[in-house]
Amino acid sequence: MGINLRMAMRALMQNRLQAILTLLGMSVGVAMVVIVSGLGRGAQLKIESQIEAAGPTRITIRSGNFVPAGVNSSGRQDSSGGEQAEGQVVSVMGDGGQLADIGKDAAAMDARRRAAAVRQTEYRNPPTPLGAAEMDMLRHRVADVKAVAAGMAGNASLDDNADIPVRVVRVNGFQPAWPEMSGWKLLAGRMISADEHAGGAPVMLVTRKSAGQLWPGQASPLDKVMAIGGRQVRVVGVIGGVDDSDSSVVPPVYVPVGLAQRVLGRKNYDTITVRTVSVGVTSQVAADIQQKLRDLHRLPDNMADDFRVTSQSVSAMPSMGADPHLVRAVHSNVTGFEQASWQQMAKSLRAAGRTFTLLLAGAAAVSLLVGGIGVMNIMLVSVTARTREIGLRMALGARAGDVMIQFLVEAMTLAALGGLIGLFLGWIGLLVTEYGLHWATAASPIMLVAALVMAAATGIVFGIAPARRAAVLDPVIALRSE
């Protein structure tokens, strides 16, 4: 084998230009395979993450119950209809301990279920605000929760700022887990650090759009300072992937919740968002949260929820890459969105991803085929040009098999070398598509090895015909050839 390899390398060296051209053809084929598999896998991973984002792993909790009469998201009958009437505030916040006994809690739930037939005719108004007790409960007493983030938003007037033409901004307070949950992308600068979150530091994030409204004509909003509520708030980052489709002329800014509380002058959160560990458990977790919130808020059986738990977060679904019809269908179907339809959507998304990968793989196969034909061509030429050498080797005792192996190894060496170059080219191609075109890519080592093996196999497949042709030559005729 070593001898054959050395012989092959020497033969290729003697035919340098042709070998290089063939290598190029082969390497383009392999590069295609690498790029395509990287893109295909990237697309599939992206689709999986879209399914994950689109699928109900997000549960949003709002204070107050605004659901119109009918079936709410958890399938529970709710006849409250619209915002609830004014009434006595019955706050149970902050006294803790009411859920200390899990066994008691479970028993209470059972009782509640038995009493589900009790008609809920009472309403609490204003509803219990969402605060630290709710956060604590969600963080520590609900199973299968991956992350919890509270948020609040409100418009606030700016102090006098020499360089800012607008008077009012929408202050969005968020917690550290939020950017990842909602799929924010950092476009410039940095995110708000954990320390800044903890201290409610005067830092903020802006979108490209709000930056344009606040500091029109400025190249970068980074390190710009905005005076609000007597504080100098500095821009540390620019984010994208924010759902600002319904944003008005008021530019949004994103700040630590602690800062928002001070600027907006209130403590309560507007929403608490929970991310569950997986799609499958979401409705269970939502039901659990509803029950525990009722217990936390000490709602009697005949009183309707004073909060709303929704487990749809379809709006978070990035439309990039997904079929727009599908996205619209999903968006318009929010209320009736159930596990079954979600699974169906996931299925069709996955199928679309597979089709995409298959198409690309087809293109890769074609270029590999072209590379293979190149190998076959150079090998046929080589066999013809070296007929005399073949005759000589036969005269010196080479069997048909020896000649066959010699040319097969040569074809395989050529293809594998092309494969190595192709791996390198493909790697560069992936880098370009990832950082130049911002396409999702994911190269797996297995695919890289497979590409090399495929290249060598192509060499063998397309090398067989020329090698056979060499092996069956008549030694006398081969020796006589010029």
288 vs 389, beta carbon nearer other proteins: 389
Min dist. Cβ of residue 430 to other proteins (A): 39
Contact 33, 371 (CB under 8 A): no
116 vs 472, beta carbon nearer other proteins: 472
Min dist. Cβ of residue 480 to other proteins (A): 9
- DSSP code for 71: E
- Collapsing DSSP to helix, strand or coil, 397 comes out as coil
163 vs 474, beta carbon nearer other proteins: 474
10 binds other proteins (CB under 8 A): yes
Residues ≥6 apart with Cβ < 8 Å to 10: none
Give the binding range for other proteins (CB under 8 A) out of 17-25, 43-51, 353-361, 399-407: 399-407
408 vs 455, beta carbon nearer other proteins: 408
Q: How many Cβ atoms are within 10 Å of 167's Cβ, its own excluded?
A: 10
Binding mask 330-369 vs other proteins (x if CB under 8 A, - otherwise)? ----------------------------------------
Amino acid at residue number 475: P
90 vs 392, beta carbon nearer other proteins: 392
- Count of chain residues binding other proteins (CB under 8 A): 20
Residue appearing with tokens 């968006």:
331
Give the binding range for other proteins (CB under 8 A) out of 30-38, 195-203, 216-224, 386-394: 386-394
385 binds other proteins (CB under 8 A): no
- DSSP code for 435: I
What residues between 420 and 479 interact with other proteins by CB under 8 A? 475-476, 479
Amino acid at residue number 461: V
What are the percentages of helix, strand and coil residues in the chain, rounded to 5? Answer: 55, 15, 30
Amino acid at residue number 357: T
190 vs 388, beta carbon nearer other proteins: 388
Amino acid at residue number 356: F
Contact 314, 182 (CB under 8 A): no
Q: Helices 400-431 and 2-14 sit at what angle, rounded to 10 degrees?
A: 70
- In angstroms, what is the C-alpha Rg of the chain? 33
Picking from 199, 193, 183, the residue whose alpha carbon sits closest to that of residue 239 is: 183
124 vs 386, beta carbon nearer other proteins: 386
140 binds other proteins (CB under 8 A): no
400 binds other proteins (CB under 8 A): yes
388 binds other proteins (CB under 8 A): yes
Structure tokens at 346: 């996931």
Min dist. Cβ of residue 33 to other proteins (A): 34
Footprint of other proteins (CB under 8 A): 3, 10, 13-14, 388-389, 392-402, 475-476, 479
